[in-house]
Amino acid sequence: MSFSGMVKKELSGYTERARHCCLAELSALICACGSLEQDQNGDSELLIRTENEAILRKCFTLLKKTFNIKAVVLDERDIYTRRGKAYTGRIPGPEETIRVLEAVKVAYELPAGPVGFDRSSLITQRDCCRRAYIRGAFLASGSISDPEKGYHFEIVFPDEVRAQGVQAMIRSFGIDARIVLRKKTFVLYVKEGSQIVDLLGLMGADTALFDLENIRILKEMRNSVNRKVNCEAANINKTVSAAVKQIDDIRLIEKLKGLDSLSEGLTQVARLRLQYPDATLKELGCMLDPQVGKSGVNHRLRRLGELADELREKEEEQ
């Protein structure tokens, strides 16, 4: 099972205790998966279609808990989508249908047609209800990428109005959710790992939250180790390159001028560098008598390099 599937499985088993939160979550699910159709008698009935059977069961649970509706049944129609069979739930009867739609505050038109997001809704005034609505929206049309590969949370909406409504709910919790147009749909997404963790927490996916945090910690540790190793390797390469240049300069001075012609300090550093090509500046400084610090050794080696450059220039002129 994918990480997104595991998150949805956990959330589908999470049920709020408060009725107003159950209504908020049910509102998001019905808004995304619901539609009004006419039965054989011409009466309106609410259908809930989804590709995930667990989400349909979640709708049944919320309907039973909030409205005590026992007439919800699994419709065995052969309806298929690109990914497979679409499961369908039905609330028969116009009275029960209208009672549910009025309670969950979604826009609708009788006798048939899609239901939609109600911008004037008062159902998400509380923080807890906004959390429940976001959870319902994610269950209906959301996904989250495998954190081993990257961080990406998204919810797909058919229209911009509903996308902006859920975006406002998410941003009320300090999470920077953005919207992008993808083909004919509007995608609300979050790409920051820490903010996705916050989203999982506010939706109630605690197990997925801990799994994601563990993966984030391991990835950060690996990245930190890699950065340190790369830094050490770069420093070693830099030291080796500098030592090779210093040895070339000293051999040139030795060949054209002789090391004994230099001052005592420069001669001592030059001979030590030839004898210990892999030694660091600090190690060379400790070998000198009297000992000299890194800056002192670096100054002498730089002076040797300047002398070597002067000799090269003279050679070129000749």
The residue among 204, 224, 244 that closes a domain is 204
- In a shared domain, residues 180 and 264: no
Which residue carries 């997404």 as its tokens? 189
- In a shared domain, residues 197 and 110: yes
The CATH number covering residue 124 comes to: 3.10.28.10
CB atoms within 10 A of CB 35: 15
- In a shared domain, residues 187 and 38: yes
- In a shared domain, residues 190 and 114: yes
Q: Is residue 306 part of a domain?
A: yes
- In a shared domain, residues 244 and 200: no
CB atoms within 10 A of CB 34: 27
Q: Is residue 222 part of a domain?
A: no
CB atoms within 10 A of CB 178: 13
Peptide bond into 94 cis (omega under 30): no
- In a shared domain, residues 180 and 255: no
- In a shared domain, residues 149 and 244: no
Q: Is residue 221 part of a domain?
A: no
The residue among 204, 223, 255 that closes a domain is 204
Q: Is residue 29 part of a domain?
A: yes
Q: Is residue 50 part of a domain?
A: yes
Which tokens go with 273?
Answer: 């560098």
Domain carrying residue 93 = 3-204
- In a shared domain, residues 27 and 125: yes
Strand order of the sheet with strand 142-144? 142-144, 153-157, 185-190, 178-182
Q: How confident is the model over 246-268, as pLDDT tens digits?
A: 888 888 888 888 888 888 888 88
Q: Is residue 225 part of a domain?
A: no
pTM (2 d.p.): 0.70
- In a shared domain, residues 280 and 180: no
Q: Is residue 44 part of a domain?
A: yes
- In a shared domain, residues 26 and 147: yes
Give per-residue burial for 207-230: e unless 16+ CB within 10 Å, then b: ebbebbbebbeeeeeeeeeeeeee
The residue among 164, 185, 204 that closes a domain is 204
Of the candidates 7, 48, 14, 51, the residue with the CA atom closest to the CA atom of residue 31 = 48
- In a shared domain, residues 95 and 135: yes
- Per the DSSP assignment, residues forming a β-bridge with 142 are 155
Cβ atoms of residues 215 and 148 within 8 Å:
yes
Which tokens go with 33?
Answer: 């998966």
- In a shared domain, residues 249 and 198: no
pLDDT per residue rounded down to tens, the chain (318 residues): 788 889 999 998 888 889 999 999 999 998 888 888 877 777 788 888 888 888 888 888 888 888 887 656 554 444 444 455 678 888 877 888 888 888 888 888 778 777 877 766 778 888 999 999 999 999 999 999 988 888 899 999 988 988 999 999 999 999 999 999 998 899 999 998 889 999 999 999 889 888 888 888 887 788 778 888 888 777 777 777 888 888 888 888 888 888 888 888 888 888 888 888 878 888 888 888 888 888 888 888 888 888 888 888 877 777
Q: Is residue 215 part of a domain?
A: no
Q: How confident is the model over 111-128, as pLDDT tens digits?
A: 877 787 776 677 888 899
Number of residues assigned to the chain: 318
Which tokens go with 98?
Answer: 């209208």
Number of domains into which the chain is organized? 2
